[in-house]
Each structure stands twice: as C-alpha cells, then as structure tokens.
Amino acid sequence: MAHNFDGNLSFGTNQPATGIRSLRHPLVVLAHLGFRATAIFVYVFANWFFSSIIQQFLVILFLLSADFWSVKNVTGRLLVGLRWWNFVDSEGHNHWKFEASKDQSRFDPFERSLFWMGLVVAPAFWGVLVCLAFVTFNWTWMIVAIMGAVMNFANLYGYLRCRWSSTDEFTNYFTKWAFFNMLSRSTQQQPQPQAPVLTA
C-alpha cells in the first residue's frame, strides 16, 4: 500500500546556480529524459555500437526497464506529484490506484513541462519507429519498437489517469482545450479594422 504520498523526498534536490543544476530536481529530470532518449538513440544507431542482435536487444531492454521504473516510481512523484500503482488483494483481484498530490503549487512549472513533454514525445517516437519497421518488413526490430511503445504508452496512460480520474474528465478537458485553441486562432486571423483617413 502507498504511504506518505505528499511527503517530501530530498533525492537530487541540491540547487546550484546554472544550467540543468538550476532545476529543483536536476538528477530526476535527467533520469526522466535521459533513459527514454538513450533507448531511442540506441535503437536507431545500435548497429554502430553492437554487432550482435542479442546485445542490442539486452541494452535496449535495460534502458526501457530503467525508464519505466524510474518514471513510474520516482519522477512522476517528484516532478508533478502524481503516481499510479497496483496491488493484488487477498482474493487474487488486481486493483489499480491513481494518485495525485493535493498541493500542486509546490511543483515547479518548468519541471512539470519537461515531465509531460518527455512523457508524450517518447511514445510518439516509438510509434513512428514501429511504423517504419513495419513498412520496411524488419520484423525483429518491429518487435523491439512495439515493446518500447507499449512500456512508454503504459506510463503515459497511467499518468493521464492520475491527472484526470475518469475518461469523461479527460475528454472534457481536451474538448475545451481544442475549442479555446480554435477560438483564439480565429480571433487572431480576423482582419483588424482600419482607422478612418481624415482628409483636409
């Protein structure tokens, strides 16, 4: 069971002056973006570093597993105050829990942006890699890409459920977002009225 979800963790919270170390959680941000970016990089350039498909597969699997665990258990909690998890009760039933911190104001807006950017962009990349492997009939690498896509989409879905507790809330949010986005664009595209020209 979960304990003390809103409690503070001091992991990687030193605050030096410049660069990535100016973030409140530099090591956490680095882990959140680094594991998934490295997994994609190794997938694309694996033949440059490893001659054996088994070595390539094991390295990518390690990076995907490290990314999945760190995002699910560490970075979501420290950067955005969200966590999803599951447990099996005494009767053997599987229960999923989606938690959110009550005080969202204590999380840095820039770190939240980096978290969601990494969470959304990586699954999109893996989806593209799956499609590329399919159209080139590269079935072995398509399996690896599917594995990466599934693990990344699982974390994305879990955190979306933490952010919006039901599919209705999720749908309503993006419907409103799309509506206001279209409204703002149409307002910007409307021609501005010209000032009347005064003649002597």
More confident of the two residues 147 and 194: 147
What's the pLDDT at 189? 64
Q: Side-chain half-sphere of 156: how many Cα atoms within 13 Å?
A: 17
pLDDT at 26 > cutoff 50? yes
More confident of the two residues 183 and 45: 45
What's the pLDDT at 93? 83
- The answer to whether the beta carbons of residues 35 and 70 sit under 8 Å apart is yes
- The answer to whether the beta carbons of residues 28 and 74 sit under 8 Å apart is yes
Q: How far is CA 186 from CA 161, 173, 189, 197, in A?
A: 31, 20, 5, 27
More confident of the two residues 114 and 94: 114
Distance between CA atoms of residues 50 and 42, nearest Å: 10
Q: What is the pLDDT of residues 43-65, one digit of tens each?
A: 999 888 888 888 999 999 999 99
Query: Left if phi > 0, otherwise alpha if psi is -120 to 50, otherwise beta: which for 19?
Result: left
What's the pLDDT at 76? 92
pLDDT at 95 > cutoff 80? yes
- The answer to whether the beta carbons of residues 63 and 44 sit under 8 Å apart is no
pLDDT at 196 > cutoff 70? no
Banded model confidence at residue 17, pLDDT cuts 50, 70, 90: very low
CA angle 74, 150, 108 (to 5 degrees): 30
pLDDT averaged over the chain? 80
What's the pLDDT at 177? 47
Domain chopping of the chain, boundaries: 19-166
Question: What is the residue whose two structure tokens read 């699954």?
Answer: 123
